[in-house]
Structure 1
């Protein structure tokens, strides 16, 4: 790896839509690849800042599967358009030119991408950070079936970010490869994912639980948040006001927990005798919410394991 002169290629930068019905202006488009790319660009080139963060990346390439997706991605890049070369139907070219590859194509498309003629040679000895669900063993087998065994194998690493990468707040889970990455590749990988939030290295035996913990918080707590908003509206708040209050309260919760306070201790500190908070907490306990969340995580982890 070339230290500070690294070309990174993103394969799979199609589109999704994130929409908040109460705030249409917050609608965003992209997929995991474009979310990571957008978050990375904002971290390296913050708006209004004259002090550009020290970057180890010299060039960014983003590849989509269609010309339509490429044009949409160019529009989404906005002020960063000149910093990214957008290609479509050019995965092989992108891999040939890259030093590091971020693989974010759909799982069913991975085999076709990795078994294209010339790919084995294009990725020889390079770092491939896969965001594709499941084990990287399958990806390695696709490459092994596509070329000469004498060609150096790439370094394949499973990485699991989340869509908050777009806002620089992803928790990225890393499942380290065997054997371990060389020092330069390891340092670059950690630097890369920490630009868009935080990262944590797990083991293969704990990655399922880690992934579902992340999902339970993002998806599961969003369900409880909607319930809080509905109750607030029933009690007379406008939904937009309730959302503002809830979002800042969630930030408050994070700051308290980050200080080292246990969740139970935090609840006890704000639940006064005969108060409204303890009444609300008892309603949640009667409904078995705690156990339901625990079981939801366990069920999700089991389904995830079955798909690996």
Structure 2
């Protein structure tokens, strides 16, 4: 998901001098992941830096931090030495499933004297972010300053559409925009299999089915 968001943001900001984001710092868990991202976005090397295990350093340097690792890694990563201080007062956006802002704030500030707490919000895009067609759910936060709210919405509108939901509806909204794609693809696979059995090439069947689904989506809208 992090790579999909990065791809959408890089494309959206490529020729936009008014963009609030000009540089991207990516810290990965392994050198293999870092190498794959560097290779994938090698044409953006001047404004993208990718390193393995540079969490604290990049958090210190960045103004906006996007948490895109696996949810079970939250306590370990946010509990690394120096991370709590690096995130003090920062704007932190989480796309971690099942982790509320309060849980993440507690992971960041526990057992540490931090005078300024980070501002943590959560959002849930889907994989269509990579082609800038995501439907992203943002949790409403009435305490979020207006300028940070504008930045949050801008970030995810660069990769698709945005819908804000109350905290008690966030989880079901996340399932709707995320899991629904996987569920619907099962039916599509069955349709494609049937088409192939009747003699249509799978690539042709997929092209026709995808266009039909695009039309269906527009009718629903």
The TM-score with structure 1 as length reference comes to: 0.68
For residue 137 of structure 1, report the CA deviation from its aligned partner. Answer: 2.1
Report if aligned partners of 1:233, 1:239 keep a CA contact under 8 Å in 2: yes
Q: Secondary structure at the match of 1:128?
A: strand
Which protein is bigger by CA-based radius of gyration?
1
Q: 1:121 aligns with which of 71, 81, 85?
A: 85
For residue 52 of structure 1, report the CA deviation from its aligned partner. Answer: 3.7
Q: Secondary structure at the match of 1:82?
A: coil
Report if aligned partners of 1:127, 1:156 keep a CA contact under 8 Å in 2: yes
Partner of 1:249: 212
Q: Secondary structure at the match of 2:136?
A: strand
For residue 216 of structure 1, report the CA deviation from its aligned partner. Answer: 4.3
Partner of 1:235: 198
Partner of 1:205: 168
Q: Secondary structure at the match of 1:74?
A: helix
Partner of 1:43: 12
Unaligned runs of 5+ in 2: none
- How far does the alpha carbon of each residue in 1:128-185 deviate from its partner, in whole angstroms, 9 at most, with x for none? 0001111222211112214105x111111111111111111111111134x5211111
4+ long deviations beyond 6 Å? none
Output the CA distance in 2 between the equivalents of 1:153 and 1:253.
Answer: 46
Report if aligned partners of 1:120, 1:146 keep a CA contact under 8 Å in 2: no
The alignment status of 1:141 with 2:106, answered yes or no, reads: yes
Partner of 1:220: 183
Output the CA distance in 1 between the equivalents of 2:32 and 2:210.
Answer: 35
Q: Secondary structure at the match of 1:147?
A: coil
Report if aligned partners of 1:35, 1:166 keep a CA contact under 8 Å in 2: yes
Output the CA distance in 2 between the equivalents of 1:126 and 1:229.
Answer: 48
Report if aligned partners of 1:64, 1:89 keep a CA contact under 8 Å in 2: yes
Output the CA distance in 2 between the equivalents of 1:216 and 1:116.
Answer: 31
Output the CA distance in 2 between the equivalents of 1:57 and 1:212.
Answer: 29
Output the CA distance in 1 between the equivalents of 2:58 and 2:18.
Answer: 24
Report if aligned partners of 2:27, 2:58 keep a CA contact under 8 Å in 1: yes
Q: Secondary structure at the match of 2:45?
A: helix
Q: Secondary structure at the match of 1:159?
A: strand
Q: 2:117 aligns with which of 146, 153, 172?
A: 153
RMSD over equivalenced CA pairs, Å: 1.5
Output the CA distance in 2 between the equivalents of 1:111 and 1:200.
Answer: 28
- How far does the alpha carbon of each residue in 1:265-299 deviate from its partner, in whole angstroms, 9 at most, with x for none? xxxxxxxxxxxxxxxxxxxxxxxxxxxxxxxxxxx
Output the CA distance in 2 between the equivalents of 1:239 and 1:108.
Answer: 38
Output the CA distance in 2 between the equivalents of 1:59 and 1:53.
Answer: 12
Q: Secondary structure at the match of 2:177?
A: helix
For residue 115 of structure 1, report the CA deviation from its aligned partner. Answer: 1.6
Unaligned runs of 5+ in 1: 1-31, 46-50, 259-308
- How far does the alpha carbon of each residue in 1:242-286 deviate from its partner, in whole angstroms, 9 at most, with x for none? 11100111111122222xxxxxxxxxxxxxxxxxxxxxxxxxxxx
For residue 33 of structure 1, report the CA deviation from its aligned partner. Answer: 0.8
Number of equivalences: 220
Output the CA distance in 2 between the equivalents of 1:255 and 1:176.
Answer: 27
